[in-house]
Amino acid sequence: MEDWRAKALQYFPDLQEMIQNQASPMGLWIDLSFVLETTYEERIRNVYDYAAWCFAQPQTEDVETDLSSAVAVCFVENIPLNHFTSEDLHRWMSVESFEGFENLFRYHLSAAEFQKFSDDFRRKRKQFGGESRV
């Protein structure tokens, strides 16, 4: 087995069939780029759709089982901490939801950091203009 293929199998064991069917590293990289694009879009869409579903569920008395609380504290609050997620937020969240989550976004950010985060989101959202998931 060639080194490039063996190493690819180590990094992507779930893509074994695709890797073994490739005749060259170029072909593999074309396939890997496609996998990255499609799985990213699918995963991110599913995350925001699941978040929206969780927010629509009835609230429970127990914070450990309340779906809205789980999404808010374990996902939304951390969005500003992840560069990739925060840079892409405008495609998935409405301005109204963003405003509703302001306190969560501010939790890890200084006033200046939040202002930049908010300004960037609003600018991108206005340019994007597409439908949001949350």
Tell whether 103 is covered by a domain: yes
Task: Read off the DSSP letter of residue 58.
Answer: P
The whole-chain average pLDDT of the chain stands at 95
Tell whether 124 is covered by a domain: yes
Domain holding 53, by residue range, is: 17-128
pLDDT band of 129, cuts 50, 70, 90: confident
Tell whether 46 is covered by a domain: yes
pLDDT band of 32, cuts 50, 70, 90: very high
- Residues 6+ positions from 12 with CB-CB distance below 8 Å: 19, 32
The structural domain count of the chain equals: 1
Cα 102 to Cα 12, 32, 79, 92, 107, distances in angstroms = 38, 37, 12, 16, 9
Tell whether 11 is covered by a domain: no
Tell whether 82 is covered by a domain: yes
Q: How far apart (Å, rounded) are the C-alpha atoms in residues 53 and 58?
A: 10
Tell whether 61 is covered by a domain: yes
Tell whether 65 is covered by a domain: yes
- Give pTM, 2 decimals: 0.83
